[in-house]
Amino acid sequence: MPGDTAEPVHMTEELQHFEVNLARLEEVVATLEKGGATLQRSLDLFEEGMALLARLHRVLELTESRIDELVRSAEGSLATRPFEPPR
């Protein structure tokens, strides 16, 4: 049906915020790499970048916990199991 989504609204919003936060983090990093900012401005940008990084990491952890892996059994049937990332 039109308007139906496969994922909950809050997850869609989290992913949109993820994209915005990632873009801002990239801007912060580029500014710091370019240099020329005052020490205070550099510290402010560094702190903002670390806060953005923490938010992005939390969203990735939440997303990872929601992923199921599709596996084929020895008999050939398909099943899902929780995704276990390599450590």
Give the Cα separation of 52 and 46 in Å (integer): 10
- 1 inside domain: no
- 65 inside domain: yes
- 3 inside domain: no
Is pLDDT of 84 > 70?
yes
Domain that holds residue 32: 9-82
- 50 inside domain: yes
What pLDDT is recorded for position 48?
98
Q: Is the pTM of this model over 0.85?
A: no
- 2 inside domain: no
| Residue 69 parent element (H or E) | strand 68-72
Give the Cα separation of 14 and 60 in Å (integer): 10
Q: Which of 8, 2, 21, 9 is nearest to 60 (CA)?
A: 21
**pLDDT tens for residues 23-76?**
999 999 999 999 999 999 999 999 999 999 999 999 998 887 777 777 777 777
- How many domains are there within the chain? 1
